[in-house]
């Protein structure tokens, strides 16, 4: 039996629903010395510099069917990077350059038409614990679209673009649009959970918790990596190079860090 395509909603004017996808991704590492911590931060800054992040966001823009209007990017000192893109559902229309004696200043090369309230941003935050050897890399990503395009189309790609142990994902539909009879529509697609848009391979890798407020079209999902291999959390050496007691102590610190981030509650460490 062929699945029936859901008929497209006929709207009065423009679809001005705002769909916002926001999530934090955390990668956790253990470094024994100051030199190792600095090397880890340098490695992260190189892996996720502004140019690499720009490439990721350009792919996201293509996947959701939007057009790039403008890009701003910056690498920071001592660490971290940011990229912000303004995007449009409609095409960017270039207006031919003209001249006028009344306006001696240089005229713009192009005028943007059909600009929607849409943007994509990413900010990175590498940091480390001053005493316990824990280093944490956080990336904050926001994809806000206005109109028919949906940021959920790029969700799995974004997750695959970062090495992550913990994810906190939020999706919200704001505002309303109207159908041709004037009735308000507060959402234009079916959704029960962000998990509905995750690949099965991702769902198998993570423990997931939902907190959804359906009447307000707010969806929240937390994800924590199931598998734990200490070698994946050591930077510059392997667990075979340390004692069993050290392995146990480091494992406890890493898992405590993961618990605090996942549950949003800081524990008192001895």
Burial 231-254 (b: 16+ CB within 10 A, else e): eebbbeeebeeeeeeeeeebeebb
Cβ atoms of 247 and 231 within 8 Å: the answer is no
Nearest by Cα to 121 from 94, 136, 145, 140: 140
Q: Which of 89, 152, 75 is CA-nearest to residue 119? A: 89
DSSP 6: P
Concatenating the DSSP letter of every residue in 54-102 gives HHHHHHHHHHTT-EEEEEEEEE-SSS-EEEEEEEESSPPPPPPP---TT
Tokens read off for 21: 């996808």
What tokens appear for 47 in the block?
A: 């892996």
Based on the residue annotation, tell me whether 118 is a catalytic residue of this protein. yes
Residues 123, 161, 220, 223: which is the catalytic one?
Answer: 123
Decide: helix, strand or coil at residue 48. coil
What CA–CA distance (Å, rounded) separates 126 from 244?
A: 29
Give the active site residue among 29, 146, 161, 220: 146
Of 146, 163, 138, nearest to 257 by C-alpha is 138
Catalytic residue among 29, 88, 118, 161: 118
Distance separating alpha carbons of residues 219 and 196, to the nearest angstrom? 11
146 is catalytic: yes
Report, as residue numbers or ranges, the catalytic residues: 118, 123, 146
């Amino acid at each position: 039996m062929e699945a029936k395509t859901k008929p497209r909603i006929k709207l009065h004017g423009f679809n001005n629903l705002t769909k916002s996808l926001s999530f934090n991704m955390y990668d956790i590492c253990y470094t024994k010395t100051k030199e190792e911590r600095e090397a880890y931060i340098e490695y992260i800054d190189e892996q996720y510099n502004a140019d690499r992040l720009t490439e990721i966001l350009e792919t996201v823009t293509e996947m959701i069917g939007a057009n790039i209007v403008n890009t701003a990017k910056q690498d920071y000192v001592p660490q971290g990077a940011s990229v912000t893109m303004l995007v449009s559902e409609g095409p960017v229309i270039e207006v031919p350059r003209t001249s006028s004696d009344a306006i001696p200043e240089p005229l713009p090369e192009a005028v943007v038409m059909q600009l929607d309230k849409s943007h994509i941003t990413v900010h990175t935050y590498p940091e480390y614990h001053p005493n316990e050897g824990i280093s944490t890399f956080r990336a904050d990503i926001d994809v806000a679209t206005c109109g028919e395009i949906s940021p959920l189309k790029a969700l799995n790609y974004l997750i695959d673009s970062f090495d992550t142990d913990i994810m906190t994902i939020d999706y919200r539909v704001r505002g309303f649009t109207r159908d041709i009879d004037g009735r308000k529509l507060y959402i234009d697609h079916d959704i029960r959970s962000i998990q509905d848009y995750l690949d099965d391979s991702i769902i198998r890798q993570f423990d997931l918790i939902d907190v959804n407020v359906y009447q307000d079209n707010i969806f929240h999902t937390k994800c924590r990596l199931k598998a734990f291999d200490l070698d994946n959390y050591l930077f510059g050496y392997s667990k075979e190079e340390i004692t069993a007691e050290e392995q146990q102590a480091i494992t406890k610190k890493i898992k405590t860090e993961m618990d605090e981030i996942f549950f949003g509650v800081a524990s008192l460490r001895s």
